[in-house]
Amino acid sequence: MSGASVLYDVPGPRAKARNRVYSVVGVLAVLGLVAFAVLRLNAKGQLDPAVWQIFNYAGVRTGIRDGVLATLQVFAVAGVLSLVLGLLLAVARLSDHKPVRWFATGFIELFRAVPLLITIYALWVILLSNRDALGLSGSQPQFWALVAGLTVYNGSVQAEVLRAGINAVPKGQREAAYALGMSKTQVMTTVLIPQAVRAMLPTIISQLVVTLKDTSLGYIVTYEELLYTARLMSTNIIVNGNDTYIPVIIVIGSIYVAMCLALSGLANWIERRGRRTRTGIGVAAAAEPVAAAGATDAAGPASEAPAPAKD
Amino acid sequence: MNVLLDYLPEFRDGFLGTLAITVSSALLALVLGVLIAGFRVSPVPPLRAFGTAWVTVLRNTPLTLLFLVAFFVVPQILFQGASPYVLGTLALGFYTSSFVCEAVRAGITTVPLGQAEAARSLGMTFAQTLRMVVLPQATRTVIPPLSSIIIALTKNSAIAGAFGYGELFNVSKLLNDKGYAIAWIFLWTALAYLVITFSISGLFRLVERRLGVAR
């Protein structure tokens, strides 16, 4: 807000009056749009109480519940797997062995560049045509195509996030760990990764929000998650000769927004919490040597600086 | 190998389709995004609230849901019989505008305070300050995040293919239905997307260098 208020003067009486006019006009414009939409929907009979009555039916409710559960199931499996894959790829991309590094780089760049939908679709086709050989039945090909697609795409993105985090760990940490005689694996697992994960946690969780949103791509490979269930319901339930797209979309949309907001709220909370502890006692003690190392670098010019500063 | 040669016209049409919807929805997203970013920093509270609501809702809605809204709700409210191209542009443009808005707003906060203060002390209004002083300087910091937003938009445009707009995903679906091996189709489509995304990041790097100023 402090950044915004610098853009305009504190409003005086005339500016206040003008802002009030703008407010009224703006609110009226938004209300006008909403009213227009409501009127049009009403004219089409989409706001009829009978249309909204469908949410009282047990079938619709269990349908939505099952859809939410299917979405959360895909999200849980894909989220965990993408974090594991991301960790592996990040470490592989930082490896000392060239082939491993090249493989990880190629994998990450390929799957980050291709639209997720195309990856999921290709995997779905592959799984469907090998269904019997792999012993998949029912909606399992869709499920695993969705999970695998989400995993390789989000795993690649998480790998880059983690790599950025590992590279951002102060160099002294790694050097100190090697000086203590730790092996490469020990340095990575006990020194670098914990600090990288901690620093990158908000970004990692925002990427998990993206994963949650992308589960809706299951709609296109006909996996019965929330969006596909919604689509089926809205075409199958006919009230007064109309399909019920609008009420179903409004309800499903609210559920999605609520789920994503909850997750990004968690990210914000962790970010605030992390910021607080970073200035706390426990971490400050560990961070001191780094700050001291920086201070000695800066000490050269700084020691000459005080004289002009006093003038 | 043969898939590409046999169906070169389809691939070309799909490539151009992806390009067309990317360009049009990027333009829509840029215009809307800058406008909403202006709303979000404006002195008028309802406009600020509107901007915040816009960003919060659109950023937390799955794009597929927005496509459903565009293809099944918009025709009921506004006009019937719009082409998938127009509806897809609307969905993609609105979705991306929320990300553009956040990038622009972040860019505005990186402009040194003295600039806006100087503009104000010259007697400039809010709109003048933003348009003539702050936004031109914010452009420089906004370009790199904008590049990745537009690349994400290119990739998201694949969803329009699932809703019947002719682009690369649509082509790969079509060719798969004709019985070609999915691996080759996947590789060629991936290559086509790589061409587009590399051109976008190259273009933005060019713009960045043109706009770059030693601070």
Any domain includes B194: no
Any domain includes B34: yes
Any domain includes B210: no
B85 touches A: beta carbon within 8 Å = no
Any domain includes B171: no
How far is residue B186's CA from residue A118's CA, in Å, rounded to a whole number? 7
Residues of A in contact with B136 (CB under 8 A): none
A33 touches B: beta carbon within 8 Å = no
Average confidence (pLDDT) over B135-145? 87
Any domain includes A24: no
- 3-state SS record for chain A: CHHHHCCCCCCCHHHHHHHHHHHHHHHHHHHHHHHHHHHHHHHCCCCCHHHHHHHHCHHHHHHHHHHHHHHHHHHHHHHHHHHHHHHHHHHHHCCCCHHHHHHHHHHHHHHHHCCHHHHHHHHHHHHHHCHHHHCCCCCHHHHHHHHHHHHHHHHHHHHHHHHHHHHHCCHHHHHHHHHCCCCHHHHHHHHHHHHHHHHHHHHHHHHHHHHHHHHHHHHCCCCCCHHHHHHHHHHHCEECCEECHHHHHHHHHHHHHHHHHHHHHHHHHHHHHHHHHHCCHHHHHHHHHHHHHHHHHHHHHHHHCHHHHHC
Name the token pair of A88.
């592996």
How far is residue B74's CA from residue A147's CA, in Å, rounded to a whole number? 31
ipTM of the complex: 0.84
A12 touches B: beta carbon within 8 Å = no
B41 three-state secondary structure = coil
Residues of A in contact with B148 (CB under 8 A): none
Name the pTM for this structure.
0.83
Residue A86 to residues A151, A179, B66, Cα–Cα distance (Å): 9, 28, 29
Any domain includes B99: yes
> Can you give the C-alpha Rg of chain B in angstroms?
20
Task: Report whether B105 contacts A4 (CB < 8 A).
Answer: no
Which CATH number do you get for residue B33?
1.10.3720.10
Residue B27: domain span:
19-165
Q: Which amino acid is at B131?
A: R
Q: Cβ separation of B62 and A36 shorter than 8 Å?
A: no
Any domain includes B58: yes
Residue A189: domain span:
54-276
A157 touches B: beta carbon within 8 Å = no
- 3-state SS record for B181-196: CHHHHHHHHHHHHHHH
Band (A298; pLDDT cuts 50, 70, 90):
very low
Any domain includes A3: no
Any domain includes A161: yes
Residues of B in contact with A119 (CB under 8 A): 186
Question: Residue A306 has what pLDDT?
Answer: 37
Any domain includes A141: yes
Question: Residue A299 has what pLDDT?
Answer: 36
Q: How many domains does chain A have?
A: 1
More confident residue, A181 or B4: A181
Q: Which of B77, B129, B159 sits opposite A117 (nearest CB)?
A: B159
Work out the percent of chain B whose per-residue pLDDT is above 90.
27
Which CATH number do you get for residue A179?
1.10.3720.10
Is it the case that residue B64 has pLDDT exceeding 80? yes
Any domain includes A307: no
Mutation target for A interface from B18, B44, B197: give the one with most A CBs within 10 A: B44
| Cβ neighbours, 10 Å, residue B213 | 6
Question: Residue B213 has what pLDDT?
Answer: 65
> Which run of H or E residues covers position B107?
helix B84-110
Mean pLDDT of the residues in chain A: 81
A128 touches B: beta carbon within 8 Å = no
Q: Cβ separation of B76 and A41 shorter than 8 Å?
A: yes
Task: Report whether A267 contacts A209 (CB < 8 A).
Answer: yes
| Cβ neighbours, 10 Å, residue A59 | 11
Q: How many domains does chain B have?
A: 1
Average confidence (pLDDT) over A181-201? 90
Q: Cβ separation of A11 and B155 shorter than 8 Å?
A: no
B61 three-state secondary structure = coil
Q: Cβ separation of A249 and B65 shorter than 8 Å?
A: yes
Residues of B in contact with A22 (CB under 8 A): 44, 47
Q: Cβ separation of A216 and B62 shorter than 8 Å?
A: yes
